[in-house]
Structure 1
Amino acid sequence: MTTTLTKTETAAFINEIEAIYEEPSIAYKLRATSTWVTKSFKERTILERLASIDLASQKCYQVQPKNPNPPPIHNIWLERLWLTCTISPALIIQALWYHFVPKDNHYHTWHPLFAFVFYFLAFFIFTLQLVGRTHYYMKYYGTFDEDNRPRDYVPDKLVPRFIISVLIYLLARTAGGLILGGYDRNEPPSLGHTISCYHRTVHTVPFLWKFHSLHHCTKHPTPIQSILAGDIQELIEIFLIPLFTSFVFHLTTHEFWIVQCILIYIEAGGHSGIRAYLPHVILYEVLQPFGMELCVEDHDIHHRYGKSGMNYGKQTRIFDRLFGTLCERVECVQK
């Protein structure tokens, strides 16, 4: 079975990737080797089979004729309804359990270990549903810049790291929600108790770029490739950022569940390249009148620029406007 890259191999791979692209002209040349996708499902290793979850329609990996029509405006309320219907079942199941199972019953409350397994599986199922939905829209709408270059496959060398990173993310975020949210087995689901410079910094500080550059090995990513990152970046994003956030905003365990589902939804969308005007599911109406709302194309353009950096925002375009790093949209130009 393929093994995880060593630090030396990872550094060499990053240098190889950076040499492939010319900045800031964004002249696309070679692509990293991805022979695993040419194998039949039976021929793939276990890790390659798991990586197949990220494979979209074959159309997304082929150059398409230029679409003369502007990207359609996707109904944001459909996304809000979908999120409500997919996030709430786990909370409803636990709430109903606590309501109907008698309090004097030994199984009335959920042991922390049981709660961890339950919410991990729920998060895994949510992620599979999210990826499937995103792939559907990638095929239905097409993807940005598809007439120049299609979406990127996960490179052969990064398949093991890709799968391990996904598993660590799901496990750590589930456990973090329980720990930082102060899970109390005697309480049913409860809600309502309660400026990031990080991304810009990892592009502008050379030392930190070494850790972030692995994430930019793809110029045209797919949903789950949003998790690809260097060891230090994974440590920061998976563990430290939720920890520091909990110091500022006290969230219950179940609020953490909602937040992490919405967060992974936004990250997957931003790395999907769905060719539609699909804005931020929470902040759209607040920021749109000021021209500072974020949509899928903004982060898609960010990956094309790589280290030279434009469109750093993950939630809004406010700070990109303030710091002069806003790159105007190419296809989602509203009349």
Structure 2
Amino acid sequence: MSASATTTATKAPAAASKKQQRVPQPIRPSQGPLKSTWHLPETDKKWGVYHWLIHFTGIDPLPQNTTAVVHEKDDPIPVWNNVNLHIWIALRVFPAIGLQYVYTQWAGRNFHPVANILYWGVFVSLFGSNLLNVLRKVTTNVGFLQPQATRDGIPDVKVTEVLNSLLMTAFFRPAAATLVIYNRDAPMKLSPWLPLMIPAFSLAVDFWFYWYHRIMHESDTLWKFHRTHHTAKHPTPILTLYADMEQEWFDVVFIPLLAYFTLRPVFDMGFWDWMVCWTHVMFIELIGHSGMRIAGTSPAFDLVPMKRFDVDLVIEDHDNHHSRGWKKSGNYGKQTRVWDKLFGTILPRIETLDHLIDPTDKISLPQF
């Protein structure tokens, strides 16, 4: 064994020991343009309906007394337990499909399109709020990247806008898919090609998102529609769709439909295939804005060796896009680094370095 390997081997147990001794500390909310103090108890007399809704659903990422472990830069970094992530997603999306199937067997036909939009809008809302809750729990134990920085929560002056963005996403995406794909009279089924369809759809979404995202950064005309999103330098998941209305329309409606039509010549994608694929995309959208100190890539790409080709996306990649870039940036992809790699816009990782990653320390999402 070489001297450097011996040094690395002796450092690893020490780093692991330091990690075990860390105690969660209070999270410091941002005091910048996204200053968030509205959730403090002494302010609740001024709350509106949206404040109470965020409070009762528990989707506020930085409520009072929230804590997270603060790591040293040489502490080992855990990885996602992708088997757990697959189970977590499956236990939500497939029962929703199953319940709709039971209804069709009982009623003799499927939901009216309006009912279908409402049904899947509620599903996306519950899925998203559930994920926001469990991510906050996990963050307590794993901590944030760039721990010296403050984190951005729901800003005092934009509570209504943030929740409206989430609700718009929850209902407009199923609405677009219902109008374009849904056939009330067709039998409910899932494609046998679904395991390949999921990564293909994520890759197609990322292609269109990459170019529209990059152009917004590089065009003076379009940057004005994106800079609101970039006031979050160290975002939390609820700020995933914090943006101007023009950007939200592209994120919520046009990008998913462009991805669908891109794959249409290859896959016969039905509405329920689309919902399973989009659930995986939404899952990574929210996690990608979490800033959590975890390595490992999307469960959508478990059948594709993304890391071997250095095109895997980890949380740090999009976190760096926000914190280290403004109008000129990089890491424009949000599902992969495939297009960033091909077109030369990858930003270097600073914390999620290979020698620090501990593949034996796997992080699972709580089911509830």
Question: Which residue of structure 2 aligns with residue 89 of structure 1?
Answer: 95
**2:37 counterpart of 1:35:** yes
Aligned partners of 1:32 and 1:226: how far apart in 2? 14
Question: Which residue of structure 1 aligns with residue 326 of structure 2?
Answer: 306
Task: Provide the TM-score with structure 2 as the length reference.
Answer: 0.75
- Unpaired segments of 5 or more residues in structure 2? 1-29, 198-206, 356-368
Cα distance, 1:252 vs structure 2:
1.7
Per-residue deviation, residues 15-51 of structure 1 (Å, max 9, x unmatched): xxxxxxxxxxxxx984533231224584222122234
Question: Which residue of structure 1 aligns with residue 51 of structure 2?
Answer: 48
Per-residue deviation, residues 231-272 of structure 1 (Å, max 9, x unmatched): 211122222223333332333211221122112111100000
More displaced 10-residue stretch of structure 1: 90-99 or 74-83: 90-99
Give the conservation status (yes or no) of the 8 Å contact 2:229–2:244.
yes
**2:279 counterpart of 1:261:** yes
Structure richer in strand, relative to its length: 2
Question: Which residue of structure 2 aligns with residue 155 of structure 1?
Answer: 155
Equivalent residue pairs, number: 302
**2:247 counterpart of 1:229:** no
More displaced 10-residue stretch of structure 1: 210-219 or 304-313: 304-313
| Identical positions, percent | 27
Give the conservation status (yes or no) of the 8 Å contact 2:101–2:188.
yes
1:206 to 220, 229, 251: 220
1:271 to 289, 300, 315: 289
**2:143 counterpart of 1:142:** yes
**2:164 counterpart of 1:164:** yes
Aligned partners of 1:290 and 1:235: how far apart in 2? 33
Cα distance, 1:57 vs structure 2:
6.1
Aligned partners of 1:189 and 1:40: how far apart in 2? 52
Cα distance, 1:169 vs structure 2:
1.3
Question: Which residue of structure 2 aligns with residue 297 of structure 1?
Answer: 316
Give the conservation status (yes or no) of the 8 Å contact 1:61–1:151.
no
Cα distance, 1:334 vs structure 2:
0.9
Cα distance, 1:61 vs structure 2:
7.0
Question: Which residue of structure 1 aligns with residue 174 of structure 2?
Answer: 174
Aligned partners of 2:253 and 2:164: how far apart in 1? 15
Question: Which residue of structure 1 aligns with residue 22 of structure 2?
Answer: none
Q: Give the direction of change, closer, same or farther, for the CA distance of 1:184–1:249 in structure 2 (3 Å limit).
A: farther
Aligned partners of 2:83 and 2:63: how far apart in 1? 25
Q: Give matches, 1:106-145, under 5 Å.
A: 108-145=109-146
**2:78 counterpart of 1:72:** yes
Q: Give the direction of change, closer, same or farther, for the CA distance of 1:235–1:74 in structure 2 (3 Å limit).
A: closer
Aligned partners of 1:63 and 1:72: how far apart in 2? 13
Question: Which residue of structure 1 aligns with residue 21 of structure 2?
Answer: none
Give the conservation status (yes or no) of the 8 Å contact 1:144–1:274.
yes
Aligned partners of 1:102 and 1:179: how far apart in 2? 22
Question: Which residue of structure 2 aligns with residue 321 of structure 1?
Answer: 341
Give the conservation status (yes or no) of the 8 Å contact 1:225–1:271.
yes
CA RMSD across the alignment:
2.5
Question: Which residue of structure 2 aligns with residue 23 of structure 1?
Answer: none
Aligned partners of 1:274 and 1:32: how far apart in 2? 19
Q: Give the direction of change, closer, same or farther, for the CA distance of 1:33–1:151 in structure 2 (3 Å limit).
A: closer
Helix, strand or coil at the partner of 1:72: strand
**2:293 counterpart of 1:287:** no
Cα distance, 1:102 vs structure 2:
6.7
Give the conservation status (yes or no) of the 8 Å contact 2:69–2:141.
no
Task: Provide the TM-score with structure 1 as the length reference.
Answer: 0.81
- Unpaired segments of 5 or more residues in structure 1? 1-27
